[in-house]
């Protein structure tokens, strides 16, 4: 195919930055348009230094700004939509999450049809599939099993409906008469250098005598390294641009994981950071069943107080379920259709992430020395 252009939304985020860097190595790619609401100065500076072929254009704009999206999509061959608001704690207003994740996706789909962008790759989430109960066990779940989240919480709700909209749009007619090809990648919890969530866990531990708070001691999940998840997006892009492969990929969703061992969230955090002095919280916790019903009570109080006071419970049934469920998936379908194989082994991912955590620990120690008279 002739030269092509690619728009990446969420390009200033944890995953989006990795996708942009991998795109720089793609053949005949003329321009990468990196869209983010507001780039951090350091990220913007780093991207600005990448002015090699293909050309990298940094765009700042809101995913809810239809005019901005139309401009960004003009003359674009592929859209990789990685922008999202991720929150399972209730800290972000419900409507904000739904607007960004669902309305923003629909606006972008509309902009693609209007600008005749033929390919759309959506970064979905395993949250669209579940888990629905901490008692249910899903082991190496597959796409044909049709797992679907039943939660009304804004994050799983918005990602599930946004994914449905993306897949339903596949095969529709573009303004220029062409065909719109879409697919979705359901990604799990992503770890690696630069992860804000992992950074928060480590920072909290460093301010708590190196003790890692218990987050999901009962869980069994398959986290994935950010480099592998980004690579899956590149392969999806190649697949949909290939006339032979595209018919089998369009309208499909794929679970993306890697060879990181299935483990609890707590074990993952400890494994990645133990070399730098961080350790488990050895204190006992309440039984999960009791915590679940306590969460139900707190949610009821929050609902009753809503007309006069915005009370946010410290934890919810959804958060407890996500943090303690046994829910893993298989990437065999992506392997078959996309040719996906993880680029980074568990050992390499662990080493890279561990070195980054070491820098956080050293930075923390440096701050303490500066504050000490």
Catalytic residue numbers? 159
The conformation of residue 174, written as its DSSP 8-state character, comes to P
Rounded Cα distance, 43 and 273, in Å:
25
Rounded Cα distance, 25 and 6, in Å:
13
Contact by Cβ (8 Å): 105, 166: yes
- The helix/strand/coil state of 182 is strand
Instruction: Give the pair of three-digit tokens for residue 309.
Output: 């006071």
Q: What distances in angstroms separate CA 171 from CA 107, 146, 180, 334, one per listed residue? A: 18, 21, 5, 20
For residue 16, count CB atoms less than 10 angstroms from its CB and return exposed for 0-12, middle for 13-18, buried for 19 or more: buried
Identify the H or E element spanning 236.
Answer: helix 226-241
Which of 103, 40, 110 lies closest to 69 in space, CA to CA?
A: 110
Q: What distances in angstroms separate CA 45 from CA 99, 163, 304, 328, one per listed residue? A: 29, 33, 48, 38
* CA atoms in the 13 A half-sphere facing the CB of 42: 2
Instruction: Give the pair of three-digit tokens for residue 53.
Output: 């072929």
Which of 202, 212, 197, 183 lies closest to 79 in space, CA to CA?
A: 183
β partners of residue 212: 280
β partners of residue 301: none
Rounded Cα distance, 217 and 224, in Å:
18
Rounded Cα distance, 81 and 173, in Å:
20
Length of the chain equals 373
Rounded Cα distance, 228 and 187, in Å:
10
All residues at 6 or more sequence positions from 59 whose CB lies less than 8 Å from its CB, including other chains: 33, 34, 35, 36, 68, 72
């Amino acid at each position: 195919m002739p030269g092509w252009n690619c728009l990446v939304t969420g390009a200033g985020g944890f995953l989006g930055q990795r996708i942009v860097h991998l795109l720089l190595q793609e053949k005949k790619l003329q321009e990468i348009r990196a869209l983010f609401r507001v780039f951090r100065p350091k990220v913007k500076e780093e991207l600005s230094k990448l002015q090699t072929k293909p050309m990298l254009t940094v765009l700042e704009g809101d995913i809810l700004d239809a005019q901005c999206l139309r401009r960004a999509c003009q003359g674009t061959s592929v859209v990789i939509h990685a922008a999202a608001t991720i929150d399972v704690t209730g800290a972000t207003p419900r409507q904000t999450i739904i607007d960004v994740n669902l309305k923003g996706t629909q606006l972008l789909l509309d902009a693609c049809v209007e600008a005749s962008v033929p390919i759309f790759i959506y970064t979905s989430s395993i949250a669209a599939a579940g888990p629905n109960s901490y008692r249910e066990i899903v082991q190496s779940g597959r796409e044909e099993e049709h797992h679907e989240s039943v939660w009304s919480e804004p994050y799983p709700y918005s990602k599930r409906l946004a994914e449905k909209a993306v897949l339903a749009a596949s095969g529709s007619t573009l303004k220029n008469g062409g065909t719109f090809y879409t697919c979705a990648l359901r990604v799990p919890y992503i770890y690696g250098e630069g992860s804000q969530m992992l950074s928060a866990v480590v920072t909290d531990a460093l301010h708590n005598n190196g003790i890692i708070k218990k987050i999901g001691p009962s869980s069994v999940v398959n986290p994935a390294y950010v480099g592998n998840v980004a690579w899956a997006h590149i392969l999806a892009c190649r697949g949909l641009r290939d006339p032979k492969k595209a018919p089998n990929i369009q309208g499909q969703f794929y679970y993306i994981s890697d060879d990181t061992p299935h483990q609890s969230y707590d074990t993952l955090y400890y494994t990645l950071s133990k070399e730098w002095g961080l350790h488990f919280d050895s204190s006992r916790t309440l039984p999960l069943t009791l915590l679940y019903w306590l969460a139900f009570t707190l949610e009821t109080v929050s609902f009753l107080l809503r007309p006069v006071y915005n009370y946010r419970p410290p934890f919810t049934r959804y958060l407890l379920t996500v943090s303690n469920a046994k829910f893993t998936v298989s990437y065999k379908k992506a392997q078959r259709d996309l040719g996906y194989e993880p680029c980074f082994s568990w050992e390499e991912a662990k080493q890279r992430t561990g070195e980054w955590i070491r820098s956080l620990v050293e930075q923390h120690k440096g701050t303490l020395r500066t504050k000490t008279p």
